[in-house]
């Protein structure tokens, strides 16, 4: 099915029961609020091409510390609203004098949004399996609207990427991805993610990325075969206790959200 591009103000339906996200109702009709793709799953919604990340409770995000107070780390989460991580939401007991020693300005971490107040005060938490400060690996940033593409149906894209590149991957819903593995593998994954960004609105994306990775690896085989084959699976370059704990898996409800968004627009 041809994907339909819609424009703010465009009439989507004459039935108010159809009004989904990214739409508004006026005089009994449903119109688009956004520039994006029409998604007619159950109700009609519009998936925007771009837009800033607006935090929602339970989202997984990747933040970078911009300030440390005696009781809070303040994180930039790529949003108009900064996030607060209270010391009590750190996995271990923290003395206020130790705050900056644990995470200082510029440090990044895997986090979860715990609560968002109506005034957009964003509370973060690290008290969950897999969430932690990041000491190694790379961060890649892109438009948050493209996050569903990186995750894929039921996590298909991210699973495939992990498998094909032997890297750890954590996808933050705020448009940041953390990857970790061998330099060479990260380069490959980095390129694959950039390709997803460039082609995010096109069909059959997972297949094309798979093909890309496959051909890249084949091209390299001849050149760097000696360099390969030593370690299997993700490389835990850092202190193993931290890295082993979790691969930064994406939760089930995230998959569901993503699926709903990709449904109909991904054929």
Partner 1 sequence: MSDKPEKFIDENGLRLDGRQINEIRQMKIKIGVLSRADGSCYLEWGNNKILVAVYGPRELHPRRLQKADSALIRYRYNMAAFSVEDRIRPGPSRRSIEISKVSREAFEPVIMTHLYPGAVIDVFAEVLQADAGTRTAAINAASIALADAGIPMKSLVSACAVGKVDGQLVLDLNKAEDNYGQADLPVAMTQDGEITLLQMDGNLTPEEFKRALEMCKEGCRQIMEMQKEALRNKFADDHLPIEVPDEIVETLDVAATLEDVVEENEGDEVEVDDSSEETVEEDPELESEVEVETGDADEYAAEEPEEADADDDILEVEEESVDLIDGEAGDEDEGVANEGSETREQ
Partner 2 sequence: MSVLKKDYIYNLMLKGKRVDDRSFDQVRDIALETNVIDKAEGSAWVKYGETEVLVGVKVQAGAPFPDSAGEGVIITSLELNPLASPEFEAGPPKEGAIEMARVTDRGIRESGAIDLSKLCITKGEEVWIIFIDIHVLNDAGNIQDASSLGAIAALMTTTIPAERNGKGEDMAMPMRDTPLAITLVNIGGSLMVDPGRDEETVCDTKITIVSNQDGSISGMQKSGDGALTEEQALKAVEMACEKAAELRKVHLSNI
Q: Which residues bind partner 2 (CB under 8 A)?
A: 64, 106-108, 134, 137-139
From partner 2, partner 1, none, interface partner of 203 (C-beta below 5 to 8 A by class): partner 1
- Tell me the C-alpha to C-alpha distance, in Å, between residue 74 and each of 13, 64, 84, 130, 134: 43, 8, 5, 20, 16
Closest approach of partner 2 to the CB of residue 133, in Å: 11
141 CB contacts (<8 Å, ≥6 apart)? 78, 175, 176, 177
Q: Cα–chain-centroid distance for residue 108?
A: 14
257 binds partner 1 (CB under 8 A): yes
120 binds partner 1 (CB under 8 A): yes
Confirm if 266 and 203 have CB atoms less than 8 A apart. Answer: yes
As given in the structure block, the two tokens for residue 211 are: 């093909």
> According to the 3-state scheme, what is the secondary structure of 225-236?
HHHCCCCCCCCC
> Which parts of 17-76 interact with partner 1 (CB under 8 A)?
19-26, 31, 33-36, 42-43, 45, 47-52, 54, 56, 59, 66-67, 69, 72, 74
- Indicate the residue among 228 and 251 with the shorter CB distance to partner 1: 251
Q: What is the DSSP letter of 93?
A: -
- Indicate the residue among 114 and 226 with the shorter CB distance to partner 1: 114
From partner 1, partner 2, none, interface partner of 107 (C-beta below 5 to 8 A by class): partner 2
From partner 2, partner 1, none, interface partner of 64 (C-beta below 5 to 8 A by class): partner 2
């Amino acid at each position: 099915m041809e994907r339909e591009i819609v424009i703010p103000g465009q009439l989507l339906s004459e039935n108010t029961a159809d009004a989904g996200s990214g739409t508004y109702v006026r005089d009994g009709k449903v119109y688009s609020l956004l520039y994006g793709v029409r998604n007619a799953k159950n109700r009609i919604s519009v998936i925007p091409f771009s837009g800033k990340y607006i935090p929602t409770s339970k989202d997984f995000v990747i933040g970078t510390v911009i300030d440390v107070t005696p009781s809070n780390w303040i994180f930039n989460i790529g949003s108009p609203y900064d996030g607060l991580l209270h010391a009590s939401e750190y996995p271990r007991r923290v003395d206020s004098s130790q705050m900056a020693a644990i995470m200082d300005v510029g440090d990044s971490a895997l986090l979860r949004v715990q609560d968002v107040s109506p005034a957009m005060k964003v509370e973060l938490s690290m008290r969950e399996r897999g969430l932690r400060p990041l000491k190694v690996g790379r961060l890649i940033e892109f438009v948050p609207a493209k996050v569903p593409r990186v995750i894929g149906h039921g996590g298909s894209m991210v699973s495939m990427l992990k498998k094909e590149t032997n890297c750890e991957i954590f996808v933050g819903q705020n448009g940041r991805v953390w990857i970790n593995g061998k330099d060479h593998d990260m380069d490959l994954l980095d390129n694959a993610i950039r390709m997803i960004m460039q082609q995010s609105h096109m069909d059959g994306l997972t297949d094309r990325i798979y093909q890309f990775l496959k051909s890249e690896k084949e091209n390299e085989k001849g050149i760097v075969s000696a360099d390969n084959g030593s370690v299997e699976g993700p490389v835990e370059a850092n202190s193993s206790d931290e890295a082993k704990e979790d691969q930064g898996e994406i939760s089930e409800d995230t998959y569901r959200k993503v699926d709903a968004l990709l449904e109909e627009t991904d054929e």
